[in-house]
Amino acid sequence: MLTNKQMEKFAELAVRVGANMQKDQEVVIRCDVQCADFAHLIAQKAYEFGAKFVHMEWLDEKLDRINMLNASKEALSDIPNYRTALWNYFIERKCCLISISAGDPNKYKGCDADKLSAYEIAFNIARNAFRQATMSNYLRWTIVSIPTPAWAQQIFPDDTAEAATDKLWNAIGHIMRLDQDDPTAAWRKHINTLVSRAEYMTNHNFEYIRMKNAAGTDLSVGLATDHVWIAAEEEGQDGIRFTANMPTEEVFTAPHNRKINGKVVNALPLVNNGNVIDNFSITFKDGKVTDFTAETGYEALKGLLESDEGVLSLGEIALIGKESPIAESGILFYNTLFDENASCHLAFGASYPTTVKNGNNMTAEQLAQHGMNQSIQHVDFMVGTKDIDIDGIGYDGKVTPLFRNGEWVI
Ligand code: ZN
Ligand code: ZN
C-alpha cells in the first residue's frame, strides 16, 4: 500500500506531468465509480494547481457487464445522444482529460461476442470526434492506472483480494517511481532519455523495420512517408507538451499501411474487451492481414478483425527494451497501459496523425497517401520477446541494428 504522501505525488504526476494542466483550464476525469477516492484526490490536486473546473465522467464497469448480459444487441448499439453531446462539450471547452484505467480484464467474460462487437462499433462511432480530438492532440490527455480488487486478483489469483491489491499497489508504486524522493523529477529524467532515442530514430528515417525471433516472427514493417518517432512526451496543438501514457516506456511511429509483409507471433496475451486472445499469429501481405490463427480467443480475434477495413492493417509500431521496469517486474498485468510498456508492440487499426510530419494539418486523403492507416479501432498487441532482434533498413538498403536479444543497442 502507498502512503498518503505517495498517493498525493501520484495525483500530482497525473495533473502536472501527464495532462500538464494549465492554470484556469477545465479538466475531465474519466473514472470507474470504484476508484472514486483517487479521482477526488486528482480533482483536489487539479484545483491546487489552478484548475478552473473539474468534470467527472463516471464509468461503471459492473453496470456495463449487467447491460451486456441483459440488454438486446439493438439497445446496446443505440448509444444515447447525451453522451456524444457531453464529449462535444468537452472538446468545445478544450478540457484536458485524465483517464483512470482500472478495468477488470474479465469484465465481459462469457458475454456474447456478436453483441459485444456491435456495441463496440456503435460506441466507437459515437465517440469518434472525441477520440480524434485526443488522438490528434487537440486536447491534452493522459491515462494512469490504480488497482481494483478484481484486477489485482486476476494478476495474483492465489491471494486474497486485499493481499492481491496490496501487491499490485507496490508494483505500480515502483513502476510509477513513487518510491523515489522526487517522482516528478525522476519522470522528467526518464522522459528525456526516451525523447533522445526517438530523435535518433526520426533522424535515420528508416524505410523498414524488420523483426525476427525464435517464436516465428519474421516481419517487415514499412514506415509511413515522413514519419516521426514519438516517445513519452507529445506536443498539444496549442504547443504545450504532455505525457499521454503513464507509465510509458515506448518509442513509436506509424507503419506504412501498404508496406507490411511477413508473419508476426504474439508475445503476450491480447486482452480486448475482457476477452483473452493468445498464441496467435498474423500474416500480412502488402500491408493487409491475409491470414490469422489463434489457439485462445479465435472468435474474439475474428470479431475484432471484422470491425472495418482499416483494422486489417497496422497503425502503430512501438519499441521497448526488456530492461524497462515493467518488463523487469515480470508481471502480466492484463492491462494494455502496462503490458504494452513491457514489450514491443504493433496496433491493429488507426494510426496517430501526430506520427507523420505536419499530420495534424493533413486531410484524410493526404494522410492515406503517406500510408497512414485509418480505422475505428486501435488495438495494441505485444510482439517483443526477450530474444527479438530488430533492424532499421534505410532507403539505401543500409541495415542498422536497433535491438539484440530484446534490448536496445543504440
Ligand atoms: Zn503504443
Ligand atoms: Zn497503441
Residue pLDDT, tens place only, 324-355: 889 889 898 888 788 889 999 999 999 999 89
Q: Tell me the C-alpha distance between 252 and 228, whole Å.
A: 8
Q: What's residue 339's pLDDT?
A: 85
Ligand with the closest atom to the CA of 338 = 1
Give distance in angstroms: CA of 318 to centre of ligand 1: 5
pLDDT of the residue at 101: 85
C-alpha triplet 27, 29, 33: angle, nearest 5°: 155
Asked whether the beta carbons of 246 and 219 are under 8 A apart, the reply is no
Cα distances (angstroms) measured from residue 219 to each of 72, 79, 370 = 41, 39, 20
Determine contact, residues 410/197, Cβ cutoff 8 Å: yes
Ligand of minimum distance to the alpha carbon of 250: 1
Question: Phi/psi at 303 (nearest 5 deg)?
Answer: -60, -45
Find the ligand nearest to 249 CA: 1
The amino acid at residue 249 is E
Q: Find how far residue 281's CA is from the centre of its chain.
A: 21
Side chain identity at residue 199, one-letter code: E
Query: How far apart are the CA of 206 and the centre of ligand 2, in A?
Result: 20
pLDDT, position 362: 94
Give the span between the Cα atoms of 356 and 361, in whole angstroms: 10
pLDDT reported for residue 309: 96
What is the pLDDT, as a whole number, of residue 389? 98
- One DSSP character per residue, 283-307 reads EEETTEEEEEEEEE-HHHHHHHHTS
- pLDDT above 70 covers a percentage of the chain that reads 100
C-alpha cell at 31: 473514472
Query: Are the C-beta atoms of residues 139 and 90 closer than 8 Å to each other?
Result: yes
Q: How long a stretch of residues is the chain?
A: 410
Whole-number Å distance, alpha carbon 160 to ligand 1 midpoint, is 32
- Tell me how far apart the alpha carbons of residues 94 and 376 are, in angstroms, rounded to a whole number: 23
Phi-psi label, residue 292: left if phi above 0, alpha if psi -120 to 50, beta otherwise: beta
C-beta atoms surrounding 50 within 10 Å: 12
Q: What is the pLDDT of residues 108-151, one digit of tens each?
A: 989 999 999 999 999 999 999 999 999 889 999 999 999 999 89
Closest ligand (CA of 377): 2
pLDDT value, residue 350: 96
The single-letter code of the amino acid at 322 is: K
C-alpha cell at 110: 462469457
pLDDT score for 275: 87
What is the rounded distance in angstroms from the CA atom of residue 137 to the CA atom of residue 131?
A: 10
Tell me how far apart the alpha carbons of residues 215 and 28 are, in angstroms, rounded to a whole number. Answer: 43
Task: Say what the pTM is.
Answer: 0.79
Spell out, as residue ranges, where the chain has pLDDT lower than 70: none
C-beta of residue 251 within 8 angstroms of C-beta of residue 198: yes
Give pLDDT, residue 332: 87
Residue from 58, 138, 124 nearest 93 by CA: 138
If we measure between CA atoms, which residue out of 320, 311, 257 comes closest to residue 287? Answer: 257
Kindly report, residue by residue over 193-224, the tens digit of the pLDDT.
999 999 999 999 999 999 999 999 999 999 99
Residue 252 Cα to ligand 1 middle (Å): 6
